[in-house]
Amino acid sequence: MTVGPVGSSPALPPVQTVQPARASESTQSFGARLESALSEVNAASARAAESARAYQMGTQNDLAAVMVEQQVSSLGFQLTLNVRNKALGAYRDIMNMPL
């Protein structure tokens, strides 16, 4: 192994510029983003239920895929529940502030 002199550095790749977010994404309201996230969690739950039903009926034989769908659904629900609890806690803190 050879060590180069102090202060020398290998050739670094050029810095890439980051493109700004599209206007439709940056101007989307909080309510619309929340509704979109909740619909995605609902869709994951529906996919997990359908996958479990298919496994129980014998039309699907991949238990690992069923379990992955169940875990994705569970994580989505837990995240949604935690976001709700944080929002509710923030609301309670604001309501209990003295005037």
Which tens digit of pLDDT belongs to each residue from 21-71? 565 556 788 889 989 999 999 999 999 999 999 999 999 899 999 999 999
Give 69-95 pLDDT, tens digit per residue: 999 999 999 999 999 999 999 999 999
**Mean pLDDT, range 8-12, rounded to an integer:** 58
pLDDT number for residue 30:
85
Is 4 a residue whose pLDDT tops 90?
no
Please count the residues of the chain. Answer: 99
Residues 6+ apart with CB under 8 A from 38: 80
Residue 8, judged by CB atoms within 10 A of its CB (0-12, 13-18, 19+), counts as exposed
